[in-house]
């Protein structure tokens, strides 16, 4: 079990700047993410924010059906948000195998960190009935946006990936049949970093009140 550093809660980029800075980027350097960067990304995704076990992303009925796994050069890990730790499930770098399941999208394997969101669909359907899939996909979207905005605030890059073969990815990750991959999100250092956003005169004009 690997204990992650405490997430940094005093970033230098405002939420508004992160929203402007966020872009889907598919060119990464081979530089790995630091433990602190991984900590901040995972906390933003699903970190616990109070004693009632509520998290950074909303969930229908606070059931939290989504699980997070991450792949790095050091292997495949499961994230436990209750104690902010990673447990290694496989010492092999599975990122190249994830690429194969995702239609050969090479940039996924170039990213220092690949976050995989999955859910137990059968359990969720039993709990929420016909609304289960809607809840799962909505929650995955909430988590994904948190990841993208946190990556932007750290000067990192990310891209959402939904084009992959579910069964093949399940096999690569060693998931039981009930757990289905929902989302793949590579995060890494961009090959061509963008400058920190600054409000331009053009943007000011675009949103200037006509009154």
- Residue spans of the domains in the chain: they are 2-206
Which pLDDT score, from 0 to 100, does residue 121 have?
81
Helix (H) or strand (E) holding 166: helix 166-173
Which pLDDT score, from 0 to 100, does residue 198 have?
60
CB-count exposure of residue 150 (10 Å: 0-12, 13-18, 19+): buried
Average pLDDT for the chain? 91
For the domain made up of 2-206, the CATH class stated in words is: alpha beta
Q: What number is the average pLDDT over the span 104-109?
A: 97
Global pTM reads 0.90
Q: What number is the average pLDDT over the span 28-51?
A: 95
């Amino acid at each position: 079990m690997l204990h992650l550093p405490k997430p940094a809660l005093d970033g230098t980029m405002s939420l508004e700047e992160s929203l402007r800075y966020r872009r889907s980027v598919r060119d990464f350097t081979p530089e790995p993410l630091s433990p602190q960067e991984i900590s901040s990304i995972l906390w933003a995704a699903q970190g616990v924010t109070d004693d009632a076990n509520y998290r950074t992303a909303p969930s229908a009925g606070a059931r939290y059906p989504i699980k997070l796994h991450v792949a790095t050069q050091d292997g495949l890990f499961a994230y436990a948000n209750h104690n902010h730790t990673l447990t290694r499930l496989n010492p092999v770098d599975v990122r190249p195998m994830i690429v194969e399941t995702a239609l050969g999208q090479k940039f996924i394997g170039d990213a220092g960190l690949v976050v995989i969101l999955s859910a137990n669909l059968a359990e969720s359907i039993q709990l929420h009935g016909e609304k289960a899939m809607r809840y799962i996909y909505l929650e995955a979207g909430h988590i994904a946006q948190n990841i993208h905005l946190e990556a932007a605030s750290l000067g990192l890059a990310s891209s959402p990936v939904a084009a992959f073969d579910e069964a093949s990815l399940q096999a690569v990750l060693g998931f039981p049949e009930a757990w289905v991959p929902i989302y793949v999100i590579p995060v890494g250092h961009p090959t061509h970093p963008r400058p920190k956003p600054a409000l331009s005169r053009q943007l000011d004009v675009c949103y200037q009140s006509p009154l």
